[in-house]
Chain A
Amino acid sequence: LSDGHSCIGCVLMVSIVEQLVQVHNSTTQEEMERLCSYLPEKLFLKSICYLTAEMFGPDIIKLLNLKMNADVVCHALQFCKQEAGQPLCHLYNPPQEGLKRALSRARKIIQHSPSLTIPGGL
Protein backbone atom coordinates (compact mmCIF):
# COMPACT_ATOMS: atom_id res chain seq x y z
CA LEU A 1 0.00 0.00 0.00
CA SER A 2 1.20 3.49 -0.84
CA ASP A 3 1.64 6.37 1.58
CA GLY A 4 -1.65 7.67 0.22
CA HIS A 5 -3.48 4.57 1.37
CA SER A 6 -1.94 4.79 4.86
CA CYS A 7 -3.15 8.37 5.04
CA ILE A 8 -6.68 7.41 4.00
CA GLY A 9 -6.71 4.54 6.55
CA CYS A 10 -5.62 6.88 9.33
CA VAL A 11 -8.10 9.63 8.44
CA LEU A 12 -10.92 7.06 8.31
CA MET A 13 -10.05 5.53 11.68
CA VAL A 14 -9.55 8.83 13.47
CA SER A 15 -12.76 10.22 11.97
CA ILE A 16 -14.72 7.19 13.15
CA VAL A 17 -13.29 7.44 16.68
CA GLU A 18 -14.08 11.16 16.71
CA GLN A 19 -17.66 10.49 15.63
CA LEU A 20 -18.09 7.63 18.12
CA VAL A 21 -17.10 10.07 20.89
CA GLN A 22 -19.78 12.46 19.63
CA VAL A 23 -22.48 9.78 19.25
CA HIS A 24 -21.89 8.18 22.67
CA ASN A 25 -20.94 11.40 24.44
CA SER A 26 -17.91 9.61 25.76
CA THR A 27 -14.09 9.84 25.85
CA THR A 28 -11.64 9.14 23.02
CA GLN A 29 -10.03 6.35 25.08
CA GLU A 30 -13.36 4.61 25.60
CA GLU A 31 -14.35 4.95 21.96
CA MET A 32 -11.06 3.57 20.65
CA GLU A 33 -11.65 0.55 22.87
CA ARG A 34 -15.24 0.33 21.70
CA LEU A 35 -14.16 0.36 18.05
CA CYS A 36 -11.59 -2.40 18.67
CA SER A 37 -14.18 -4.45 20.55
CA TYR A 38 -16.43 -4.35 17.48
CA LEU A 39 -13.79 -6.03 15.32
CA PRO A 40 -13.69 -9.82 14.91
CA GLU A 41 -10.79 -11.93 16.22
CA LYS A 42 -10.27 -13.47 12.76
CA LEU A 43 -7.18 -12.34 10.80
CA PHE A 44 -5.90 -10.82 14.09
CA LEU A 45 -8.10 -7.78 13.39
CA LYS A 46 -8.98 -7.16 17.03
CA SER A 47 -5.38 -7.64 18.18
CA ILE A 48 -4.05 -5.34 15.47
CA CYS A 49 -6.60 -2.72 16.50
CA TYR A 50 -5.64 -2.90 20.20
CA LEU A 51 -1.95 -2.81 19.31
CA THR A 52 -2.50 0.26 17.12
CA ALA A 53 -4.53 1.92 19.87
CA GLU A 54 -1.74 1.14 22.34
CA MET A 55 0.88 2.68 20.07
CA PHE A 56 -0.92 5.76 18.79
CA GLY A 57 -3.82 6.12 21.23
CA PRO A 58 -2.14 8.51 23.68
CA ASP A 59 -1.26 10.96 20.87
CA ILE A 60 -4.67 10.66 19.23
CA ILE A 61 -6.34 11.33 22.59
CA LYS A 62 -4.18 14.41 23.20
CA LEU A 63 -4.87 15.86 19.77
CA LEU A 64 -8.58 15.09 19.57
CA ASN A 65 -9.07 16.56 23.05
CA LEU A 66 -7.64 19.80 21.65
CA LYS A 67 -10.34 19.71 18.94
CA MET A 68 -7.89 18.94 16.15
CA ASN A 69 -9.45 17.16 13.21
CA ALA A 70 -8.49 13.84 11.59
CA ASP A 71 -6.41 15.51 8.85
CA VAL A 72 -4.24 17.31 11.40
CA VAL A 73 -3.91 14.20 13.61
CA CYS A 74 -2.83 12.00 10.70
CA HIS A 75 -0.32 14.52 9.36
CA ALA A 76 1.11 14.99 12.85
CA LEU A 77 1.44 11.22 13.28
CA GLN A 78 3.12 11.06 9.84
CA PHE A 79 0.55 8.70 8.32
CA CYS A 80 -0.09 11.53 5.87
CA LYS A 81 2.97 13.07 4.29
CA GLN A 82 3.29 16.22 2.28
CA GLU A 83 5.31 15.50 -0.86
CA ALA A 84 7.77 18.17 -1.96
CA GLY A 85 6.05 20.76 -4.11
CA GLN A 86 2.64 19.24 -3.38
CA PRO A 87 -0.17 20.73 -1.30
CA LEU A 88 -1.08 19.53 2.17
CA CYS A 89 -3.80 16.95 1.48
CA HIS A 90 -6.94 17.17 3.60
CA LEU A 91 -10.43 15.65 3.61
CA TYR A 92 -12.11 18.14 5.92
CA ASN A 93 -12.31 21.90 5.58
CA PRO A 94 -9.18 23.40 7.17
CA PRO A 95 -9.56 24.63 10.78
CA GLN A 96 -10.09 28.36 11.36
CA GLU A 97 -6.46 28.95 12.29
CA GLY A 98 -5.36 27.29 9.02
CA LEU A 99 -4.10 23.79 8.38
CA LYS A 100 -0.41 24.65 8.55
CA ARG A 101 -0.67 26.44 11.85
CA ALA A 102 -2.83 23.69 13.39
CA LEU A 103 -0.36 21.08 12.19
CA SER A 104 2.60 22.92 13.57
CA ARG A 105 0.80 23.17 16.94
CA ALA A 106 -0.02 19.46 16.83
CA ARG A 107 3.57 18.53 16.04
CA LYS A 108 4.80 20.48 19.03
CA ILE A 109 2.35 18.69 21.30
CA ILE A 110 3.50 15.22 20.31
CA GLN A 111 7.12 15.96 19.39
CA HIS A 112 8.52 13.65 22.08
CA SER A 113 6.01 10.92 21.46
CA PRO A 114 7.48 7.38 21.35
CA SER A 115 5.14 6.52 18.44
CA LEU A 116 7.18 8.80 16.17
CA THR A 117 10.34 6.81 16.86
CA ILE A 118 9.05 3.34 15.96
CA PRO A 119 11.89 1.40 14.29
CA GLY A 120 11.42 1.52 10.54
CA GLY A 121 8.96 4.38 10.87
CA LEU A 122 5.40 4.15 9.62
Chain B
Amino acid sequence: MGICSIPALAKICQKIEHSLSTTLPFEDADGDKFSVFPTLRGFYWRGRDCNDRNRNIYPGRRPENWDAQQDSNCNGIWGIDPKDGIPYEKKFCEGSEAKGLIVLGDSAAAHFHIPPEWLIAAHMSVKTFSNLPMALSNELDWPQFSGTTGFLNSTSGSPDRSIYLRLRQRNRCNHRDYQSVSKNGASSKNLLKFMGSLSRNQLLDQPAIVIYTMLGNDVCNGNIDSVSKMTTPEDMRAHVMETLTFLNSRLPPGSHVVLYGLADGRFLWDHLHDRYHPLGQLNRDVTYTQLYDFLSCLQVNPCQGWMSSNETLRTLTSERAKQLSNVLEKIAASEKFANMSLLYLDYPFKEMSEEWQRRGGQTWQLIEPADGFHPNEVASRLAAKFFWEKVLQRWPHVLGKENPFNHEIERLFGDQGGH
Protein backbone atom coordinates (compact mmCIF):
# COMPACT_ATOMS: atom_id res chain seq x y z
CA MET B 1 0.00 0.00 0.00
CA GLY B 2 2.94 2.35 0.60
CA ILE B 3 5.46 1.72 -2.14
CA CYS B 4 7.82 4.37 -0.74
CA SER B 5 8.13 2.46 2.53
CA ILE B 6 10.20 -0.20 0.73
CA PRO B 7 13.80 0.64 1.80
CA ALA B 8 15.23 0.26 -1.71
CA LEU B 9 12.74 2.79 -3.06
CA ALA B 10 12.77 5.28 -0.19
CA LYS B 11 15.61 7.37 -1.56
CA ILE B 12 14.16 7.64 -5.06
CA CYS B 13 10.78 8.57 -3.54
CA GLN B 14 12.43 11.36 -1.54
CA LYS B 15 14.11 12.63 -4.68
CA ILE B 16 10.84 12.61 -6.61
CA GLU B 17 9.09 14.36 -3.73
CA HIS B 18 11.84 17.00 -3.67
CA SER B 19 11.48 17.52 -7.42
CA LEU B 20 7.71 17.91 -7.12
CA SER B 21 7.80 20.31 -4.19
CA THR B 22 10.58 22.53 -5.55
CA THR B 23 9.60 22.22 -9.24
CA LEU B 24 13.28 21.50 -10.00
CA PRO B 25 14.33 18.70 -12.37
CA PHE B 26 14.55 15.22 -10.83
CA GLU B 27 17.52 14.35 -13.05
CA ASP B 28 20.08 17.16 -13.12
CA ALA B 29 23.64 15.90 -12.68
CA ASP B 30 25.37 19.30 -12.80
CA GLY B 31 22.74 21.21 -10.79
CA ASP B 32 22.18 23.93 -13.40
CA LYS B 33 18.37 23.43 -13.23
CA PHE B 34 18.27 22.00 -16.79
CA SER B 35 17.96 18.33 -17.58
CA VAL B 36 18.38 15.67 -20.27
CA PHE B 37 15.41 13.74 -18.85
CA PRO B 38 11.97 14.67 -20.26
CA THR B 39 9.56 14.29 -17.36
CA LEU B 40 9.69 15.05 -13.62
CA ARG B 41 10.37 18.73 -14.38
CA GLY B 42 12.92 17.85 -17.06
CA PHE B 43 13.10 19.13 -20.62
CA TYR B 44 9.35 19.01 -21.16
CA TRP B 45 9.36 21.94 -18.72
CA ARG B 46 12.56 23.82 -19.60
CA GLY B 47 14.92 23.64 -22.57
CA ARG B 48 16.95 20.44 -22.81
CA ASP B 49 20.43 20.64 -21.37
CA CYS B 50 23.06 19.81 -24.00
CA ASN B 51 25.68 18.94 -21.39
CA ASP B 52 24.50 17.70 -18.00
CA ARG B 53 28.05 17.40 -16.69
CA ASN B 54 28.92 21.08 -16.95
CA ARG B 55 26.91 23.63 -14.99
CA ASN B 56 28.15 26.44 -17.25
CA ILE B 57 26.40 24.96 -20.25
CA TYR B 58 22.64 25.40 -20.36
CA PRO B 59 19.93 27.00 -22.55
CA GLY B 60 19.51 30.76 -22.36
CA ARG B 61 23.02 31.81 -21.41
CA ARG B 62 24.96 34.33 -23.46
CA PRO B 63 27.48 32.37 -25.52
CA GLU B 64 30.94 31.87 -24.09
CA ASN B 65 33.63 32.91 -26.56
CA TRP B 66 30.91 32.98 -29.25
CA ASP B 67 30.60 29.20 -28.96
CA ALA B 68 33.62 28.75 -31.19
CA GLN B 69 34.56 25.49 -29.47
CA GLN B 70 31.30 24.22 -27.97
CA ASP B 71 27.59 25.04 -27.79
CA SER B 72 27.49 26.74 -24.39
CA ASN B 73 23.86 27.89 -24.71
CA CYS B 74 22.45 24.71 -26.26
CA ASN B 75 20.84 26.56 -29.18
CA GLY B 76 22.56 24.25 -31.66
CA ILE B 77 24.70 27.00 -33.20
CA TRP B 78 28.42 26.62 -32.69
CA GLY B 79 31.77 26.30 -34.46
CA ILE B 80 33.69 28.55 -36.81
CA ASP B 81 32.93 29.33 -40.43
CA PRO B 82 35.99 27.99 -42.28
CA LYS B 83 35.50 30.57 -45.01
CA ASP B 84 36.24 33.59 -42.84
CA GLY B 85 37.17 32.23 -39.43
CA ILE B 86 34.21 33.94 -37.72
CA PRO B 87 32.25 31.87 -35.19
CA TYR B 88 28.72 31.08 -36.43
CA GLU B 89 27.16 32.24 -33.16
CA LYS B 90 28.76 35.68 -33.61
CA LYS B 91 27.81 35.82 -37.26
CA PHE B 92 24.17 34.80 -36.80
CA CYS B 93 23.24 35.84 -33.27
CA GLU B 94 25.25 38.93 -32.33
CA GLY B 95 22.87 41.87 -31.96
CA SER B 96 19.89 39.69 -32.85
CA GLU B 97 18.15 40.56 -29.56
CA ALA B 98 17.96 36.92 -28.50
CA LYS B 99 15.73 36.30 -25.51
CA GLY B 100 14.08 33.48 -23.65
CA LEU B 101 10.54 32.75 -22.58
CA ILE B 102 9.70 32.10 -18.94
CA VAL B 103 6.20 31.34 -17.71
CA LEU B 104 5.14 31.73 -14.10
CA GLY B 105 1.79 30.07 -14.09
CA ASP B 106 -0.83 27.64 -12.89
CA SER B 107 -2.21 24.37 -14.24
CA ALA B 108 -3.59 26.12 -17.32
CA ALA B 109 -0.10 27.39 -18.15
CA ALA B 110 1.34 23.91 -17.58
CA HIS B 111 -1.52 22.48 -19.67
CA PHE B 112 -3.28 20.16 -17.24
CA HIS B 113 -4.97 17.49 -19.30
CA ILE B 114 -6.73 14.20 -18.68
CA PRO B 115 -7.31 12.60 -22.09
CA PRO B 116 -11.05 11.87 -22.44
CA GLU B 117 -10.21 8.50 -24.03
CA TRP B 118 -9.02 7.37 -20.59
CA LEU B 119 -12.66 7.61 -19.51
CA ILE B 120 -14.53 6.35 -22.55
CA ALA B 121 -14.91 2.56 -22.38
CA ALA B 122 -15.92 2.17 -26.00
CA HIS B 123 -12.60 3.56 -27.28
CA MET B 124 -10.20 1.89 -24.85
CA SER B 125 -7.20 -0.17 -25.92
CA VAL B 126 -3.57 -0.73 -24.90
CA LYS B 127 -2.68 2.36 -26.93
CA THR B 128 -5.10 4.51 -24.90
CA PHE B 129 -2.99 4.31 -21.75
CA SER B 130 0.49 4.22 -23.28
CA ASN B 131 1.05 7.84 -22.22
CA LEU B 132 -0.23 7.38 -18.66
CA PRO B 133 3.22 6.96 -16.99
CA MET B 134 4.50 10.08 -18.74
CA ALA B 135 1.44 12.06 -17.67
CA LEU B 136 1.67 10.85 -14.07
CA SER B 137 5.35 11.79 -13.81
CA ASN B 138 4.42 15.24 -15.11
CA GLU B 139 1.68 15.79 -12.51
CA LEU B 140 -0.94 15.27 -15.29
CA ASP B 141 0.46 18.37 -17.02
CA TRP B 142 1.55 18.38 -20.66
CA PRO B 143 3.82 21.46 -20.89
CA GLN B 144 5.39 20.08 -24.07
CA PHE B 145 2.06 20.83 -25.82
CA SER B 146 1.12 24.01 -23.94
CA GLY B 147 0.29 27.30 -25.60
CA THR B 148 3.15 29.00 -23.80
CA THR B 149 6.24 26.75 -23.79
CA GLY B 150 4.95 23.88 -25.94
CA PHE B 151 7.52 22.69 -28.47
CA LEU B 152 5.99 19.50 -29.85
CA ASN B 153 3.54 19.43 -32.74
CA SER B 154 -0.04 19.85 -31.63
CA THR B 155 -2.03 16.67 -30.97
CA SER B 156 -5.31 18.50 -31.48
CA GLY B 157 -4.53 19.50 -35.04
CA SER B 158 -4.50 23.16 -33.98
CA PRO B 159 -2.66 25.23 -36.59
CA ASP B 160 -1.69 27.80 -33.93
CA ARG B 161 1.81 27.56 -32.53
CA SER B 162 2.92 28.21 -28.96
CA ILE B 163 4.51 31.48 -27.91
CA TYR B 164 7.90 29.74 -27.57
CA LEU B 165 7.72 28.31 -31.11
CA ARG B 166 6.81 31.74 -32.47
CA LEU B 167 9.71 33.33 -30.61
CA ARG B 168 12.03 30.63 -31.95
CA GLN B 169 10.74 31.10 -35.48
CA ARG B 170 11.37 34.85 -35.16
CA ASN B 171 14.93 34.24 -34.08
CA ARG B 172 16.46 30.75 -34.29
CA CYS B 173 19.10 31.89 -31.76
CA ASN B 174 16.31 31.49 -29.14
CA HIS B 175 16.22 27.71 -29.68
CA ARG B 176 15.58 25.81 -26.40
CA ASP B 177 15.37 29.00 -24.32
CA TYR B 178 12.10 28.30 -22.49
CA GLN B 179 11.11 27.59 -18.90
CA SER B 180 7.72 26.71 -17.51
CA VAL B 181 7.72 27.51 -13.80
CA SER B 182 4.10 26.48 -13.49
CA LYS B 183 2.30 24.30 -11.01
CA ASN B 184 -1.18 22.91 -10.52
CA GLY B 185 -3.05 25.05 -8.00
CA ALA B 186 -0.60 27.95 -8.29
CA SER B 187 -1.83 31.37 -7.23
CA SER B 188 -0.26 34.76 -6.59
CA LYS B 189 0.40 33.63 -3.01
CA ASN B 190 1.88 30.14 -3.33
CA LEU B 191 3.98 31.10 -6.37
CA LEU B 192 6.33 32.74 -3.87
CA LYS B 193 7.18 29.24 -2.57
CA PHE B 194 8.38 27.75 -5.84
CA MET B 195 9.46 30.62 -8.09
CA GLY B 196 13.01 30.10 -6.79
CA SER B 197 13.25 27.25 -9.29
CA LEU B 198 13.44 29.87 -12.04
CA SER B 199 16.86 29.84 -13.64
CA ARG B 200 18.23 33.14 -14.92
CA ASN B 201 21.60 34.64 -14.20
CA GLN B 202 21.54 38.42 -14.37
CA LEU B 203 25.13 38.63 -15.53
CA LEU B 204 25.53 35.59 -17.76
CA ASP B 205 22.17 35.03 -19.44
CA GLN B 206 20.06 36.59 -22.18
CA PRO B 207 17.10 38.81 -21.23
CA ALA B 208 13.73 37.10 -21.00
CA ILE B 209 10.05 37.64 -21.59
CA VAL B 210 8.27 36.52 -18.45
CA ILE B 211 4.57 35.75 -18.65
CA TYR B 212 2.81 35.87 -15.30
CA THR B 213 -0.43 33.97 -15.79
CA MET B 214 -2.60 32.87 -12.89
CA LEU B 215 -5.98 32.44 -14.52
CA GLY B 216 -8.10 31.59 -11.53
CA ASN B 217 -6.64 30.08 -8.37
CA ASP B 218 -6.78 33.40 -6.53
CA VAL B 219 -10.55 33.19 -6.71
CA CYS B 220 -10.89 29.42 -7.04
CA ASN B 221 -10.94 27.09 -4.05
CA GLY B 222 -12.93 24.13 -2.84
CA ASN B 223 -14.29 25.74 0.31
CA ILE B 224 -18.01 25.89 0.94
CA ASP B 225 -17.49 29.51 1.96
CA SER B 226 -15.53 30.17 -1.21
CA VAL B 227 -15.68 33.98 -1.25
CA SER B 228 -14.03 34.43 2.14
CA LYS B 229 -11.02 32.36 0.97
CA MET B 230 -10.42 34.37 -2.22
CA THR B 231 -7.37 36.60 -2.50
CA THR B 232 -8.20 40.22 -1.70
CA PRO B 233 -7.01 43.04 -3.97
CA GLU B 234 -4.64 44.23 -1.20
CA ASP B 235 -3.08 40.76 -0.83
CA MET B 236 -2.87 40.41 -4.59
CA ARG B 237 -0.90 43.63 -4.86
CA ALA B 238 1.47 42.56 -2.08
CA HIS B 239 2.07 39.10 -3.59
CA VAL B 240 2.65 40.39 -7.10
CA MET B 241 5.00 43.13 -5.91
CA GLU B 242 7.00 40.50 -4.03
CA THR B 243 7.19 38.37 -7.20
CA LEU B 244 8.25 41.36 -9.29
CA THR B 245 10.95 42.38 -6.81
CA PHE B 246 12.28 38.82 -6.99
CA LEU B 247 12.20 38.87 -10.79
CA ASN B 248 14.00 42.20 -10.88
CA SER B 249 16.77 40.65 -8.82
CA ARG B 250 17.13 37.72 -11.24
CA LEU B 251 16.36 38.94 -14.74
CA PRO B 252 19.04 40.41 -16.96
CA PRO B 253 18.48 44.05 -18.03
CA GLY B 254 16.19 44.44 -21.04
CA SER B 255 13.71 41.81 -19.84
CA HIS B 256 9.93 42.23 -19.97
CA VAL B 257 7.18 40.93 -17.71
CA VAL B 258 3.70 40.51 -19.13
CA LEU B 259 1.00 40.29 -16.46
CA TYR B 260 -2.00 38.34 -17.70
CA GLY B 261 -5.43 39.13 -16.24
CA LEU B 262 -7.62 36.47 -14.64
CA ALA B 263 -10.23 34.65 -16.70
CA ASP B 264 -13.95 35.25 -16.27
CA GLY B 265 -14.87 31.61 -15.64
CA ARG B 266 -18.61 32.03 -16.06
CA PHE B 267 -18.24 30.52 -19.52
CA LEU B 268 -17.64 27.13 -17.86
CA TRP B 269 -21.14 26.83 -16.49
CA ASP B 270 -22.75 28.70 -19.36
CA HIS B 271 -21.36 26.34 -22.00
CA LEU B 272 -21.14 23.03 -20.16
CA HIS B 273 -23.80 22.63 -17.50
CA ASP B 274 -26.28 20.59 -19.53
CA ARG B 275 -23.74 18.73 -21.68
CA TYR B 276 -22.69 15.14 -20.98
CA HIS B 277 -19.33 14.42 -19.35
CA PRO B 278 -17.23 11.73 -21.16
CA LEU B 279 -18.20 9.30 -18.39
CA GLY B 280 -21.86 9.96 -19.07
CA GLN B 281 -21.80 9.75 -22.83
CA LEU B 282 -22.56 6.02 -23.13
CA ASN B 283 -25.75 6.08 -21.06
CA ARG B 284 -26.48 9.83 -21.05
CA ASP B 285 -26.37 9.84 -17.28
CA VAL B 286 -23.62 12.26 -16.14
CA THR B 287 -23.82 15.96 -16.98
CA TYR B 288 -21.30 18.59 -15.95
CA THR B 289 -23.81 19.88 -13.40
CA GLN B 290 -23.70 16.45 -11.75
CA LEU B 291 -19.89 16.40 -11.92
CA TYR B 292 -19.59 19.87 -10.36
CA ASP B 293 -22.07 18.97 -7.58
CA PHE B 294 -20.21 15.73 -6.88
CA LEU B 295 -16.85 17.53 -6.60
CA SER B 296 -18.38 20.21 -4.37
CA CYS B 297 -19.97 17.60 -2.11
CA LEU B 298 -16.57 15.89 -1.71
CA GLN B 299 -15.00 19.31 -1.07
CA VAL B 300 -12.48 18.80 -3.87
CA ASN B 301 -14.05 21.14 -6.39
CA PRO B 302 -11.11 23.07 -7.89
CA CYS B 303 -13.32 26.11 -8.32
CA GLN B 304 -16.43 26.23 -6.19
CA GLY B 305 -17.00 29.79 -7.37
CA TRP B 306 -17.43 29.06 -11.06
CA MET B 307 -18.16 25.31 -11.14
CA SER B 308 -21.41 25.83 -9.35
CA SER B 309 -25.12 26.04 -10.09
CA ASN B 310 -25.32 29.12 -7.82
CA GLU B 311 -25.48 32.05 -10.22
CA THR B 312 -24.91 34.65 -7.50
CA LEU B 313 -21.70 32.90 -6.47
CA ARG B 314 -20.52 32.69 -10.07
CA THR B 315 -21.10 36.43 -10.49
CA LEU B 316 -19.33 37.25 -7.21
CA THR B 317 -16.36 35.15 -8.29
CA SER B 318 -16.15 36.98 -11.60
CA GLU B 319 -16.37 40.34 -9.83
CA ARG B 320 -13.43 39.46 -7.60
CA ALA B 321 -11.46 38.15 -10.58
CA LYS B 322 -12.07 41.48 -12.32
CA GLN B 323 -10.85 43.38 -9.24
CA LEU B 324 -7.67 41.29 -9.14
CA SER B 325 -7.08 41.84 -12.86
CA ASN B 326 -7.44 45.58 -12.22
CA VAL B 327 -4.71 45.33 -9.57
CA LEU B 328 -2.40 43.72 -12.14
CA GLU B 329 -3.24 46.37 -14.73
CA LYS B 330 -2.53 49.19 -12.26
CA ILE B 331 0.78 47.65 -11.22
CA ALA B 332 1.83 47.38 -14.86
CA ALA B 333 0.90 51.01 -15.47
CA SER B 334 2.47 52.52 -12.37
CA GLU B 335 5.44 50.46 -11.15
CA LYS B 336 8.95 50.72 -12.55
CA PHE B 337 11.85 48.27 -12.24
CA ALA B 338 15.45 48.66 -13.31
CA ASN B 339 15.84 45.42 -15.26
CA MET B 340 12.40 44.86 -16.73
CA SER B 341 9.42 46.66 -18.19
CA LEU B 342 5.87 45.74 -17.14
CA LEU B 343 2.98 45.13 -19.50
CA TYR B 344 -0.59 43.98 -18.98
CA LEU B 345 -2.95 41.93 -21.14
CA ASP B 346 -6.50 40.73 -20.53
CA TYR B 347 -7.12 37.00 -20.89
CA PRO B 348 -8.69 36.93 -24.38
CA PHE B 349 -11.43 34.35 -23.89
CA LYS B 350 -14.05 36.32 -25.85
CA GLU B 351 -11.73 36.72 -28.83
CA MET B 352 -10.74 33.05 -28.61
CA SER B 353 -14.36 31.97 -28.61
CA GLU B 354 -15.23 34.24 -31.55
CA GLU B 355 -12.23 33.05 -33.54
CA TRP B 356 -13.08 29.41 -32.84
CA GLN B 357 -16.67 29.98 -33.97
CA ARG B 358 -15.36 31.68 -37.13
CA ARG B 359 -13.45 28.45 -37.78
CA GLY B 360 -16.66 26.47 -37.44
CA GLY B 361 -16.27 25.31 -33.83
CA GLN B 362 -18.37 25.78 -30.71
CA THR B 363 -17.23 27.43 -27.49
CA TRP B 364 -17.61 24.31 -25.31
CA GLN B 365 -14.95 22.65 -27.46
CA LEU B 366 -12.35 24.99 -25.89
CA ILE B 367 -12.77 23.43 -22.43
CA GLU B 368 -11.04 20.26 -21.19
CA PRO B 369 -13.78 17.60 -21.38
CA ALA B 370 -12.57 15.42 -18.48
CA ASP B 371 -12.28 18.11 -15.80
CA GLY B 372 -14.72 20.67 -17.24
CA PHE B 373 -12.46 23.42 -16.00
CA HIS B 374 -9.18 23.98 -17.84
CA PRO B 375 -8.65 25.49 -21.28
CA ASN B 376 -7.75 22.68 -23.68
CA GLU B 377 -4.90 22.55 -26.17
CA VAL B 378 -6.86 24.37 -28.89
CA ALA B 379 -7.76 27.15 -26.44
CA SER B 380 -4.18 27.43 -25.13
CA ARG B 381 -2.83 27.77 -28.63
CA LEU B 382 -5.52 30.32 -29.54
CA ALA B 383 -4.54 32.31 -26.45
CA ALA B 384 -0.93 32.15 -27.68
CA LYS B 385 -2.00 33.51 -31.06
CA PHE B 386 -3.77 36.48 -29.48
CA PHE B 387 -0.87 37.07 -27.07
CA TRP B 388 1.55 37.18 -29.97
CA GLU B 389 -0.59 39.42 -32.17
CA LYS B 390 -1.27 41.92 -29.38
CA VAL B 391 2.34 42.15 -28.25
CA LEU B 392 3.51 42.46 -31.85
CA GLN B 393 1.01 45.25 -32.45
CA ARG B 394 1.45 47.19 -29.20
CA TRP B 395 5.02 46.51 -28.08
CA PRO B 396 6.97 44.93 -30.96
CA HIS B 397 10.32 45.66 -29.25
CA VAL B 398 9.41 43.06 -26.60
CA LEU B 399 9.68 40.21 -29.11
CA GLY B 400 12.96 41.38 -30.61
CA LYS B 401 13.84 41.70 -34.26
CA GLU B 402 13.28 39.03 -36.85
CA ASN B 403 16.64 37.37 -37.43
CA PRO B 404 17.67 37.75 -41.10
CA PHE B 405 19.93 34.67 -40.75
CA ASN B 406 17.16 32.25 -39.80
CA HIS B 407 17.27 30.43 -43.14
CA GLU B 408 21.03 30.26 -43.02
CA ILE B 409 20.93 28.80 -39.49
CA GLU B 410 18.35 26.25 -40.60
CA ARG B 411 20.41 25.32 -43.65
CA LEU B 412 23.60 24.83 -41.64
CA PHE B 413 22.32 23.43 -38.36
CA GLY B 414 19.09 21.67 -39.37
CA ASP B 415 16.87 21.08 -36.33
CA GLN B 416 19.62 22.56 -34.11
CA GLY B 417 19.90 19.40 -32.06
CA GLY B 418 16.13 19.13 -31.65
CA HIS B 419 14.34 19.82 -28.41
Contact = CB atoms under 8 A, between A and B. Distances in A.
Contacts of B282: 19, 22-23
A12 B128 CA distance: 16
B121 A37 contact: no
B8 interface: no
Interface residues of A, number: 33
Interface in B108-153: 119, 121-122, 124-126, 128-130, 132-133, 136-137
A92 B129 contact: no
A89 interface: yes
Interface stretch (A3-11, A59-67, A100-108): A3-11
Interface residues on B, range: 20 to 34
Nearest to B285: A92
Contacts of B136: 43
A98 interface: no
Interface string A58-91: 0000000000000000000000100000110111
Nearest to A82: B297
Interface in B1-20: 1, 3
Contacts of B327: none
A39 B130 CA distance: 7
Contacts of A39: 129, 132
A96 interface: no
A7 B296 CA distance: 13
Nearest to A81: B298
Contact of A5 (B1, B122, B125, B300): B300
A43 B137 CA distance: 9
Given A39-B129, A120-B1, A89 B297 contact: yes
A4 B286 contact: no
A116 interface: no
Contacts of B416: none
Contact of B125 (A11, A38, A86): A38
A5 B132 CA distance: 18
B294 interface: yes
Interface string A28-43: 0000000101111011
B300 A38 contact: no
Contacts of A45: 129, 132-133
A16 B298 contact: no
A42 B291 contact: no
Contact of B297 (A2, A22, A37, A86): A86
Nearest to B3: A44
A30 to B, nearest CB: 13
B263 to A, nearest CB: 24
Interface string B272-313: 000000010011011000110011011110000000000000
A7 B295 CA distance: 10
Interface string A101-122: 0000000000000000010100
B294 A91 contact: yes
A19 B294 CA distance: 20
B128 A38 contact: yes
Among all A-B residue pairs, the 10 with the closest Cβ atoms: A4-B298, A19-B121, A89-B297, A4-B300, A42-B133, A91-B294, A20-B121, A43-B133, A23-B121, A23-B122
20 contacts: A2-B300, A4-B298, A8-B300, A15-B279, A16-B124, A19-B279, A19-B283, A20-B121, A20-B124, A35-B124, A38-B125, A38-B128, A39-B132, A40-B129, A40-B130, A43-B136, A89-B294, A89-B297, A91-B290, A92-B285
Given A16-B279, A92-B286, 12 more contacts: A2-B300, A4-B295, A4-B298, A4-B300, A12-B119, A16-B119, A20-B121, A40-B130, A40-B132, A87-B297, A91-B279, A93-B290
